[in-house]
Structure 1
């Protein structure tokens, strides 16, 4: 049996990635922080595909949550083949009102805790395994609406590349996949005119479907030579 962990995987892109891995025959550890309704809906989706999954409630914004998730993984599987770091936070507080707590929360979720999760699971990772960090186009293009999100995703991209040599001894590959705008619940409250402005900046004139992102992530995970890459999948964002 091959094993995979996907953080933040009961809705949106994470749910699509976890479902894809289940379909490919992996035992999947899924994860969520607080939304029990999403977790119940995800369990129904997973159960329609396979019984080879476990959903672990653990908050990925703090070390206690990281340790809780790692303990669950270590207790239930002999090794981990794939790790997908998908949990994230954003903050759209107006620039002049951002507090230190606002800033730290985004940095902890998007940069600091991914580092410590990889540290805790290093021995658990199987040789020739793979890690994908879910980065963002907003870590490539400046994003003033949420500066902390943009900065943290750029930092995650560098963390990903910095980990290449750490993982090299075990022949573990690590890459960052950087989606643009995707049809997820997080995008559902955008005003029609705002959405149209975004679509006008995308060469394909539409948001991505979650399955398009998950299929690409699986390709990156399973390709034996992609390593240390920061890979956009944006439909041609900022190229229209």
Structure 2
């Protein structure tokens, strides 16, 4: 059996990835920070597939959360085959009102703690294992609505590429999968006219389904020659 950890995995893309890994016979560590409601809903979904999962409550914007996850994974599995870094936060505060604390929180969640989690789990990664960082097309295209989010995702992409040489001796591959707009709870509150403007910028004229992102992530995790890649999966965003 292969073991996988998916951070931020009780809703949206993370939940879809966790479900796909369960379907493929993996034991999956499912992580959430605060919402017990999301955790219970995720359990109902995942339990229809398999009981081979464990929930870990830990805030992945803090080093304490990294240590909680690292300790649980190290104790409960012999080695980690797949690491999917999906936890993220955004901040749409007006540029002139952004505080240092708000900026730091986004950087901690989206860049700093992924680095320290990889460091914490380095010795526990299986040889020839695989890491996927969930980046974003807004780390490729300028994103003025949330400068901190776009900058943090661009930094995550570079972190991913920088880790290739670190992981080389373990034959661990690492890649960044960069979704565009996806049908997740985070998108549910968009006004219809705002959503239409976004769809007009996508060549396929629709948002992705979480399963489409999960299927692609699983393919990247298991392709033995993809390494150090930053791969958009955005339906042709900014090409329409």
TM-score (norm 2): 1.00
The 5 Å alignment of 1:100-179 reads 100-179=100-179
State the match for 1:52 in structure 2.
Answer: 52
State the match for 1:28 in structure 2.
Answer: 28
SS at match of 2:56: strand
SS at match of 1:169: helix
SS at match of 1:237: coil
In structure 2, C-alpha distance between the alignment counterparts of 1:32 and 1:9, rounded to whole Å: 6
In the TM superposition, structure 1's runs of 4+ consecutive aligned residues that sit over 4 Å from their partners are none
In structure 1, C-alpha distance between the alignment counterparts of 2:78 and 2:130, rounded to whole Å: 16
How far apart are residue 50 of structure 1 and its match?
0.3
State the match for 2:7 in structure 1.
Answer: 7
Q: 5+ residue gaps in structure 1?
A: none
Q: Number of aligned pairs?
A: 240
Q: Within the alignment, does 1:83 sit opposite 2:78 as a pair?
A: no
How far apart are residue 153 of structure 1 and its match?
0.1
State the match for 1:184 in structure 2.
Answer: 184
The 5 Å alignment of 1:217-232 reads 217-232=217-232
Q: 5+ residue gaps in structure 2?
A: none
SS at match of 1:176: strand
In structure 2, C-alpha distance between the alignment counterparts of 1:223 and 1:213, rounded to whole Å: 15
SS at match of 1:56: strand
Alignment deviations for residues 2-61 of structure 1 (CA, whole Å, 9 cap, x no partner): 100000000000000000000000000000000000000001111100010001000000
How far apart are residue 118 of structure 1 and its match?
0.0
How far apart are residue 204 of structure 1 and its match?
0.1
State the match for 1:216 in structure 2.
Answer: 216
Alignment deviations for residues 68-127 of structure 1 (CA, whole Å, 9 cap, x no partner): 011111110000000000000100000000000000000000000000000000000000
In structure 1, C-alpha distance between the alignment counterparts of 2:45 and 2:55, rounded to whole Å: 12
State the match for 1:99 in structure 2.
Answer: 99
State the match for 1:69 in structure 2.
Answer: 69
How far apart are residue 158 of structure 1 and its match?
0.1
Q: Within the alignment, does 1:18 sit opposite 2:18 as a pair?
A: yes
In structure 2, C-alpha distance between the alignment counterparts of 1:116 and 1:181, rounded to whole Å: 27
SS at match of 1:123: helix
SS at match of 2:115: helix
In structure 2, C-alpha distance between the alignment counterparts of 1:107 and 1:19, rounded to whole Å: 28
In structure 2, C-alpha distance between the alignment counterparts of 1:69 and 1:128, rounded to whole Å: 21
Q: Within the alignment, does 1:198 sit opposite 2:202 as a pair?
A: no
TM-score (norm 1): 1.00
